[in-house]
C-alpha cells in the first residue's frame, strides 16, 4: 500500500516509518532507535496482537507505519498526537485530504452532520466516505481482507468511590508522583533547550510553568488576544510572579483578516484539516508572529497545557452522587466563550441513555437542528463512544456514568479537536511535547475518585499548591482564574507586572482596550480574541441569527459558506438543515 508522509520529522527504515518519541523501561527512543525497535515486530508473523503488545510498552507521543508483506500496520499513541489517515484501498497518509483525493471520496451525510454540529468526528471515520483516522491508543491492520483494529490503551477513570483506599499512597500522592515522572520525561526530551508554555489564566499551563520553575528550568510563557482580556492579564501576572520571560501577541479584527486570508493561513487550514476535526485557530497567528519576530525561539520545546483531566471539568451532576464542591474554570487555554458550567445544569440519571442525552445536548449544539434521521445515528455513535467494547449495563451508577462520559471526551473530542492544535506548532516548524497527557499522569488520574476528579479538583489543587510555592503568593492569588480576576486587577495588571509595555502595547494608554464582560463575548465586536475579523462584515450582517465562529467555520470547511463573500449561500434561519435531511 502506498504511504505518503508530508511532515519532515518521519524517520524511515526498511518497512518502517516512525515519528515522535517514546520511553521504554526508562530509555528514550527516537528516530532510528525507535524505528529499529518497531521493526523488530516484522521478524515475527506480526499478528495484530503482537503489534499492539509492543505499542503498549511505549510511553510517549508518536505514530508509526509498518509494512509487513501484504499487511500495513498503523500505530497511534494514547493521545493520538500524530494522526494517520487511511482507506481500505487507498493510501496511508498524514493528511486526510491525500486519502480523500486518491479515493475521490464523497462526504458521508451522517458524519458531515456530526462535524457541522460539533466541529469534530467522534469515531474512526472522517466526513469523507471510506476515509478513516487512527484513534488514541489504537493499532490498525490493513490488508486484502479489510481493516482490523485493536485498542491497546484504554481510558476508563472509574476510580475508587472513597479517598481512603487500601493503596499505600493516597490519590494526591500518586498524582504528584506521576507528575514528577511526566516532568522527568519532559526534561529528558527538552535537554538543554528552553521550554515554552502557552500560558493562560487557567490552572493547567500554570501547573506546568510553576513545576518547571521549581526545577530551575528556563521557561518562556506567551499568550495572545486583546489587552485587558482576563486571560491575558492573569497570564501576565503569573509570568511576572514566577519570574519568567513573557511574550504577548495583540489581536485585532484587521490583523485577523490579514492572517486568515493570506497564503499562509489558507495553506495551514488546508494541511491541518483531515476531515475529522476543525483546525485549531486561536493561537496559530500568535505562534507564527512571535517566532517570526524572534520573540519566541525555534530551538525550544513547546508544551501546551492540554491535560487528561479536562473531560472531568465538564462532567454533569449525577443523581445519587456524593456531595460535590462548587465548580471552577480551570482550563488550559483562553476562555474564549461564555459557556455555562456543567454543574449549573439539572441532575442527570447515571444511565447510559441519560448520558447520551447529556452529550447530545451539550456537544451537538453549534447549530439548532431537528432531524430524527441524524438523531438516531448520533445516539448510536455516542453509545459506542461512551462504553467502547463494554456491555450496556457497564454504565450503572455515578462512578461508571462519569467514566463513560470522560471516555467519550478522551476518544471523541480531546484526541481529535483539542490535541489537533499541535498542528499549529508543526506549521511553524517547532518541536512539542504533551506532559499532562503523559501515560503516567493519565493512569494516576484514572485512579482518582470521582469526587476529586469533578471540576478537575485534585488537579487544580496541585496547580494552586505548585504556583503558590514557586511564586510565593497567597492562597487567594494562587486560586485566581480568568473567571475570578477582578475588574481592578484587569486595569492594574500592566502597570504592576510589565509597566515597560505600556507605551508599546497600549500606546501609552492606561485603561485596557478590552473590558467587555463575559456575557458580551458572544458578540463579534466584543470577543476577546477579535477573531470575527476573518468574517466579512456583509456576511455577518446577512446572518439572520448569529452563531459562534466555530459554527460558521464548520460551514466554511464543508463549502456551505464563504466567510469572505456575502454573494454566496448564507443560512437563512437559525435551524441548520443537515445533510441527512436531503
Give the pLDDT confidence score for residue 329 in this predicted structure.
46
Which residue in 79, 109, 98, 74 sits closest to 4, CA to CA? Answer: 98
∠ at Cα 419 (415, 422), nearest 5°?
145
Interatomic CA distance for residues 183 and 358, integer angstroms: 35
Q: Specify whether 109 is located in the same domain as 243.
A: no
Residue 576 is assigned to a structural domain of this protein? no
Residue 426 is assigned to a structural domain of this protein? yes
Please report the DSSP string for 216-261 in residue order. Answer: T--EEEEEEE-TT-HHHHHHHHHHHHHT-EEEEEE--HHHHHHHHH
Give the pLDDT confidence score for residue 574 in this predicted structure.
85
Which residue in 284, 282, 330 sits closest to 531, CA to CA? Answer: 282
pLDDT bin (cut points 50, 70, 90) of residue 159 is confident
Give the pLDDT confidence score for residue 43 in this predicted structure.
62
pLDDT bin (cut points 50, 70, 90) of residue 147 is very high
> Does residue 223 contact residue 482 with C-beta atoms inside 8 Å?
no
Task: Give the number of other Cβ atoms within 10 Å of residue 32's Cβ.
Answer: 12
Which residue in 8, 10, 11 sits closest to 32, CA to CA? Answer: 11
pLDDT bin (cut points 50, 70, 90) of residue 415 is very high
Residue 434 pLDDT greater than 60, yes or no: yes
Which residue in 459, 355, 453, 340 sits closest to 401, CA to CA? Answer: 355
Q: Over pLDDT 90: what percentage of the chain?
A: 82
CATH of the domain at 256: 3.40.50.620
Task: Give residue-wise pLDDT tens across range 469-521.
Answer: 999 999 999 999 999 999 999 999 999 999 989 888 988 888 899 999 888 89
Which residues in 424-530 belong to E strands, given as ranges? 431-432
> Does residue 513 contact residue 226 with C-beta atoms inside 8 Å?
yes
Q: What is the pTM of this model?
A: 0.95
Task: Give residue-wise pLDDT tens across range 15-47.
Answer: 899 999 999 999 999 999 999 999 888 765 668
Residue 158 is assigned to a structural domain of this protein? no
Q: Specify whether 498 is located in the same domain as 353.
A: no
Q: Specify whether 96 is located in the same domain as 215.
A: no
Residue 544 is assigned to a structural domain of this protein? no
Please provide the average confidence, as pLDDT, over all residues in the chain: 92
Q: How many distinct structural domains can be found in the chain?
A: 3
Q: Specify whether 459 is located in the same domain as 491.
A: yes
List the single range of 70-79, 303-312, 334-343, 549-558 with lowest mean pLDDT: 334-343
Give the pLDDT confidence score for residue 328 in this predicted structure.
45
Residue 384 pLDDT greater than 70, yes or no: yes
Q: Specify whether 436 is located in the same domain as 404.
A: no
Residue 37 is assigned to a structural domain of this protein? yes
Q: Specify whether 196 is located in the same domain as 279.
A: yes
Give the pLDDT confidence score for residue 35 in this predicted structure.
95
Q: Specify whether 304 is located in the same domain as 393.
A: no
Residue 336 pLDDT greater than 60, yes or no: no
Give the pLDDT confidence score for residue 338 in this predicted structure.
44
What is the extent of the structural domain holding 384? Answer: 317-418
Give the pLDDT confidence score for residue 519 in this predicted structure.
87
Q: Specify whether 205 is located in the same domain as 283.
A: yes
Which residue in 72, 65, 61, 83 sits closest to 135, CA to CA? Answer: 83
Residue 72 pairs in a beta bridge with 67, 142
Residue 400 is assigned to a structural domain of this protein? yes
Q: Specify whether 43 is located in the same domain as 136.
A: yes
Mean pLDDT of 187-193: 98
Q: Specify whether 395 is located in the same domain as 443.
A: no
Q: Specify whether 213 is located in the same domain as 330.
A: no
- What secondary structure letter does DSSP report for 82? S
Q: Specify whether 220 is located in the same domain as 254.
A: yes
Residue 181's SS3 state is: helix
Q: Which three cell numbers stand for residue 280?
A: 485549531
Amino acid at each position: 500500500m502506498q504511504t505518503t508522509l508530508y511532515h519532515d520529522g518521519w524517520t524511515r527504515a526498511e518497512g518502517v516509518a516512525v515519528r515522535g518519541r517514546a520511553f521504554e523501561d526508562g530509555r528514550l527512543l527516537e528516530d532510528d532507535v525507535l524505528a529499529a525497535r518497531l521493526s523488530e515486530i516484522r521478524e515475527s508473523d506480526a499478528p495484530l496482537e503482537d503489534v499492539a503488545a509492543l505499542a503498549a510498552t511505549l510511553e510517549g507521543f508518536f505514530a508509526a507505519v509498518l509494512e509487513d508483506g501484504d499487511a500495513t500496520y498503523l500505530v497511534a499513541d494514547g493521545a493520538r498526537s500524530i494522526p494517520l489517515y487511511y482507506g481500505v484501498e487507498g493510501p496511508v497518509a498524514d493528511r486526510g485530504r491525500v486519502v480523500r483525493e486518491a479515493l475521490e471520496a464523497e462526504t458521508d451525510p451522517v458524519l458531515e452532520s456530526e462535524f457541522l454540529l460539533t466541529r469534530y468526528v467522534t469515531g474512526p471515520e472522517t466526513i469523507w466516505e471510506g476515509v478513516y483516522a487512527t484513534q488514541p491508543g489504537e493499532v490498525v491492520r490493513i490488508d486484502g481482507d479489510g481493516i482490523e483494529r485493536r485498542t491497546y490503551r484504554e481510558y476508563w477513570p472509574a476510580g475508587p468511590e472513597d479517598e481512603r483506599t487500601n493503596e499505600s499512597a493516597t490519590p494526591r500522592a500518586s498524582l504528584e508522583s506521576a507528575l514528577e515522572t511526566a516532568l522527568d520525561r519532559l526534561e529528558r526530551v527538552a535537554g538543554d533547550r528552553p521550554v515554552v508554555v502557552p500560558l493562560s489564566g487557567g490552572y493547567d499551563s500554570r501547573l506546568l510553568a510553576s513545576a518547571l520553575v521549581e526545577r530551575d528550568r528556563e521557561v518562556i510563557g506567551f499568550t495572545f488576544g486583546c489587552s485587558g482580556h482576563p486571560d491575558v492579564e492573569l497570564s501576565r501576572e503569573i509570568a511576572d510572579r514566577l519570574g519568567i520571560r513573557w511574550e504577548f501577541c495583540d489581536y485585532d479584527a484587521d490583523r485577523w483578516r490579514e492572517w486568515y486570508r493570506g497564503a499562509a493561513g489558507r495553506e495551514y487550514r488546508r494541511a491541518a484539516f483531515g476531515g475529522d476535526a476543525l483546525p485549531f485557530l486561536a493561537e496559530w497567528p500568535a505562534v507564527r508572529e512571535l517566532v517570526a519576530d524572534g520573540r519566541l525561539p525555534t530551538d525550544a520545546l513547546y508544551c501546551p497545557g492540554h491535560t487528561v483531566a479536562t473531560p472531568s471539568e465538564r462532567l454533569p451532576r449525577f443523581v445519587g452522587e456524593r456531595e460535590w464542591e462548587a465548580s471552577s474554570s480551570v482550563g488550559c487555554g483562553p476562555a474564549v466563550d461564555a459557556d455555562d458550567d456543567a454543574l449549573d445544569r439539572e441532575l442527570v440519571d447515571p444511565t447510559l441513555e441519560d448520558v447520551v442525552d447529556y452529550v447530545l445536548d451539550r456537544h451537538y449544539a453549534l447549530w439548532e437542528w431537528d432531524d430524527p434521521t441524524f438523531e438516531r445515528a448520533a445516539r448510536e455513535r455516542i453509545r459506542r463512544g461512551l462504553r467502547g467494547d463494554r456491555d450496556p449495563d457497564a454504565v450503572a451508577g455515578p462512578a461508571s456514568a462519569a467514566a463513560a462520559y470522560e471516555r467519550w471526551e478522551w476518544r471523541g473530542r480531546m484526541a481529535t479537536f483539542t490535541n489537533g492544535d499541535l498542528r499549529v506548532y508543526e506549521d511553524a516548524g517547532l518541536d512539542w511535547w504533551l506532559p499532562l497527557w503523559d501515560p503516567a499522569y493519565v493512569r494516576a488520574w484514572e485512579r482518582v475518585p470521582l469526587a476529586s476528579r469533578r471540576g478537575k479538583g485534585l488537579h487544580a489543587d496541585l496547580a494552586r499548591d505548585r504556583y503558590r510555592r514557586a511564586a510565593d503568593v497567597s492562597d487567594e492569588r494562587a486560586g485566581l482564574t480568568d473567571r475570578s480576576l477582578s475588574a481592578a486587577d484587569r486595569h492594574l495588571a500592566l502597570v504592576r507586572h510589565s509597566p515597560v509595555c505600556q507605551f508599546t502595547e497600549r500606546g501609552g494608554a492606561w485603561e485596557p482596550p478590552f473590558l467587555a464582560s463575559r456575557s458580551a463575548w458572544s458578540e463579534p465586536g466584543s470577543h476577546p480574541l477579535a477573531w470575527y475579523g476573518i468574517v466579512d462584515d456583509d456576511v455577518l450582517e446577512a446572518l439572520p441569527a448569529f452563531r459562534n465562529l466555530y459554527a460558521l467555520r464548520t460551514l466554511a470547511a464543508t463549502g456551505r459558506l464563504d466567510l469572505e463573500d456575502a454573494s454566496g449561500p448564507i443560512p437563512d434561519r437559525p435551524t441548520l438543515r443537515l445533510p441527512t435531511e436531503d
